[in-house]
Amino acid sequence: MKTLALSNNPFLIWTDVLTKTHEMMFASLNVIAQRSGRMAAAGPFPGERDREEFALMGHEKVAAANESARNMVLRTAKTQAHFAGLAYTQMVKNSQAMMAIATSLTPMQAATRQMDLAQSMLSDGAATGNAAASAAGHIVGHGLEPVHGRATRNAKRLAKG
């Protein structure tokens, strides 16, 4: 997700998440094949190097899951703070617009202000929806980072022998 960390385009963010997921799945496939082959070849009495690799498997999964959860919690907290500020800003803006409608001097002025309020609320709603889709993609991407990173590094390491 580092490549699109500053992007607010939900399509690009989710495409990046899907690309990383695809890379992770193929890397995992290779890692599972390599490690399963080593387990089968080692038999009931694996050597020291094999025992270390097998122990590393469990440790890496727990570490990646913990890091993934941590990343997602931190990103979610940041997102919640952003949306709380956005909600407050929109509430104040809409309250001011409603007061302007209430203090209109003519029916035409009231109608114009109501239309302005409606347009503002619609555009704010669309922008908020876009921001929510982007935020969700960032949260998932941050959760995927540690799992993707470990899987691709393991695939490269194990391919070397």
Q: Which pLDDT value is given to residue 5?
A: 53
The pLDDT of residue 160: 87
Alpha-carbon distances, residue 79 vs 31, 51, 129 (angstroms): 34, 42, 13
Mean pLDDT of 122-138: 93
Residue 9 · residue 134 · CB < 8 Å: yes
| Mean pLDDT of all residues in 69-89 | 95
Could you tell me how many residues make up the chain? 161
Amino acid in position 42:
A
User: What pLDDT shows up at residue 2?
Assistant: 52
Q: Say if residue 100's pLDDT is above 70.
A: yes
